[in-house]
Structure 1
Amino acid sequence: MKNWQWRRMASQMPTSLDKVVLGYVRKGILNGKEVAVKQLKHGSVQGEREFLAEVEIVSPVHHKHLVSLVGYCSTEAQRMLVYEFVPNNTLEFHLHGKRQPTMDWATRLRIALGSAKGLAYLHEDCHPKIIHRDIKTANILLNYNFEAQVADFGLAKFFPDNYTHISTRIMGTFGICIKGKVTVKSDVFSFGVMLLELMTGRRPINRQSSMDESLVDWARPLLTQALEDKNFDTLVDPELQKVYNTEEMARMAACAAACVHHFAPDRPQMSQIVRALEGNISLDNLNEGSIPGHRKVYSRFGSSDYDTARYNEDMQRFRMMALASQEHGSSENSG
């Protein structure tokens, strides 16, 4: 993009939308249209890495449920990313923000389905595949119709078909680094946690408990019982006041249980999740030889220390993502 376009847009960016770890996001005007501009901190190695990842990975990607990159600016002094403007804040804001009206069940299901479609496109329709690596409610943007768009590809990676995993370092909230093996099934796990948030209204980590209890550990036995009894009242967000479609809730519960499966290869593909949420496949197809919600694996592969290690990596990774989001959200929503 031309320098004069950037100067004009910069002069029209008084509104700060958000402060992010590596910079600021502001609202601007480009060619008469509203845009969101992420200005990264100058000299940040991690910011430079994320800038290059977004430009390389997001530029050619276009889908209804993915936030589009409109342009970027790269000079010696600054790095900027310009996205289409999505006006209605994040899923985290509407689900966990203070004094926000309760989202009804139909809205929650619509958000889950839209997010699943966006993620399925990255995993199955892009070549090479793309792993997002940062799926959480803070990275799901909403328009005024509460249609979901997956955002923030700063940690995304290409995943060629001949790869079994990507070895990566995972940066945590407090600078903690975890080495781990990441696959598309890591995104599926994170999506499963997001489904649990939509169902229960709870955050992924309970900061009120002495052990920072995870939503997955809390929900697992309740999922098992609810799916067996077809009664979800003990699991569902009390703010819904039991106003929900039981069949739709069963589909989302089965999807969540399958996504957070202990054995990563048994987690479903995102296209399966899309069809299950739509009611177009049997829920039995989500679980390859395992009982939804059960920690034990009934699989021809068996279980192993390697499987447990991979699951623990997923849990550690998501715990840090969740804590980072909650630290940011608590300051943003205070007052």
Structure 2
Amino acid sequence: MVFTFRELKTATKSFAESRLLGGGGFSTVYQGKLPDGRIVAVKKLNQGNKQGIQQFQNEVNILSQVRHPNLVQLLGYCLEGRDLLLVYEFVLNGTLADHLHGEKGNGLSLETRITIALETAQALAYLHFYVKPPIYHRDVKTSNILLDKDFKAKVADFGLSRLTHLDATHISTAPQGTPGYLDPDYHESYQLTDKSDVYSFGVVLLELISRKKAVDMTRDKKEINLASMALARIHSGALHELFDPDLSVKYWKLLTRLVEVAFRCLAAEKDDRPSMVEVVRELEQLSSMTISASSSKKSSRFKLEHQSSGELRKQRSVASTNMEEDSPTSVQVKWPSTHTSPSNSRSEIYN
């Protein structure tokens, strides 16, 4: 749908500061209300910026070709003179980054975190394997994962995304993306592949597990990047120190499995990383385990509420010891795994 500049100016009350949702170097996003009552997000790209024009074209070209419940929906655009605006569905609960690191960071249950991871993985698998030609997002990060009122994930911001050819194994292009999430193989080879998105998704998984930022300049020099920090914890046998302390000790075994998936995604060689279809299968299994664990926790709530603080400290100590025994000495060591190989069935990714 094509909107006029006047319509969008009215919808956002002349792009009032009170309607401001966020922004970056190339655009600003406002909340708007259309004449039919729909609440929308209006992205206003900065005028005279060549990269902004490219991002506008990218978003329109790509989002007009795709439709998936876990991709943000493009409702229309405005192209009048130098005014470039994109109109999206409004996603109520902000970004995943807001909930993990920002003002909305009041905690997400492990079940919710794994569901968000699974839905994000399904969206990326759809882009890589079901869209023809395939699409590489190129900027997967927690601030580009939106959450609706039910905390359903919506992958957004396709400004850097690239369409590839059906028979191509990669796209040769200058590296672009966000520090902390950028695939080091892509950075060195200038070859963008679906495995570049897989690497970025691995960093997102680490954020969900730890509630730590992908890049944090306040951390030790060798641990500024979350991926480097996680590797250091593995080498020191202290993997449990990565886990968000707000998550129950009862989930540590499950969190270890989730870290396993993350580190497969973060393999230094892109060919050693799983596809997003494989990641979906792994997360489906973990999601089922989480539901079972939640049910078990509810049934034993009375017992937990009556444990002494000393008993709880002892339980954490035992769990920490077990975690050290289960952790590999490096990411090259094969992780113990009891799950089966991913199924070839892909139908769930559409739903």
**Shorter-chain-normalised TM-score: which range?**
0.7 to 0.9
Q: Secondary structure at the match of 2:263?
A: helix
Cα deviations by residue, 1:285-334 (Å, 9 ceiling, x for unpaired): xxxxxx98844489xxxxxxxxxxxxxxxxxxxxxxxxxxxxxxxxxxxx
What's the CA shift for 1:136? 0.3
The whole-number CA distance in structure 2 between the counterparts of 1:293 and 1:75 is: 58
Alignment coverage as a number of residue pairs: 280
Give the counterpart letter for 1:217 in structure 2: S
Q: 1:270 aligns with which of 267, 271, 276?
A: 276
Cα deviations by residue, 1:102-126 (Å, 9 ceiling, x for unpaired): 2121111111111111111111110
Corresponding residue of 1:21: 25
What's the CA shift for 1:235? 2.6
What's the CA shift for 1:222? 3.6
Cα deviations by residue, 1:41-83 (Å, 9 ceiling, x for unpaired): 1111000010011111111211010001110111212001111
- 1:27-66 aligned at under 5 Å gives the runs 27-30=31-34, 31-66=36-71
Q: 1:261 aligns with which of 267, 274, 280?
A: 267
Corresponding residue of 1:326: none
1:196 has 2:196 as partner: no
More strand by share: 1
- 1:157-306 aligned at under 5 Å gives the runs 157-171=162-176, 180-208=190-218, 209-211=220-222, 213-223=224-234, 233-242=240-249, 244=251, 246-247=253-254, 249-279=255-285, 294-296=330-332
Give the counterpart letter for 2:226 in structure 1: L
The whole-number CA distance in structure 2 between the counterparts of 1:33 and 1:153 is: 23
- Aligned-pair Cα RMSD in Å: 2.7
Q: Secondary structure at the match of 2:108?
A: coil
**Pair 1:161–1:117, CA change in 2 (3 A):** same
The whole-number CA distance in structure 1 between the counterparts of 2:252 and 2:128 is: 29
The whole-number CA distance in structure 2 between the counterparts of 1:195 and 1:173 is: 16
The whole-number CA distance in structure 2 between the counterparts of 1:214 and 1:2 is: 42
1:137 has 2:136 as partner: no
Which is worse superposed, 56-65 or 213-222?
A: 213-222
- 1:66-105 aligned at under 5 Å gives the runs 66-98=71-103, 100-105=105-110
The whole-number CA distance in structure 1 between the counterparts of 2:203 and 2:130 is: 23
The whole-number CA distance in structure 1 between the counterparts of 2:275 and 2:178 is: 29
What's the CA shift for 1:90? 0.3
What's the CA shift for 1:16? 1.1
Q: 1:110 aligns with which of 95, 112, 115?
A: 115
Contact 1:257–1:293, Cα closer than 8 Å, also in 2? no
What's the CA shift for 1:204? 1.2
The percentage of counterpart residues that share the same residue type is: 40
**Pair 1:55–1:97, CA change in 2 (3 A):** same
**Pair 1:250–1:8, CA change in 2 (3 A):** same
Bigger CA radius of gyration: 2
What's the CA shift for 1:134? 0.2
The whole-number CA distance in structure 1 between the counterparts of 2:263 and 2:2 is: 49
The whole-number CA distance in structure 1 between the counterparts of 2:163 and 2:329 is: 30
What's the CA shift for 1:187? 0.3
The whole-number CA distance in structure 2 between the counterparts of 1:220 and 1:68 is: 36
Q: 1:152 aligns with which of 145, 151, 157?
A: 157
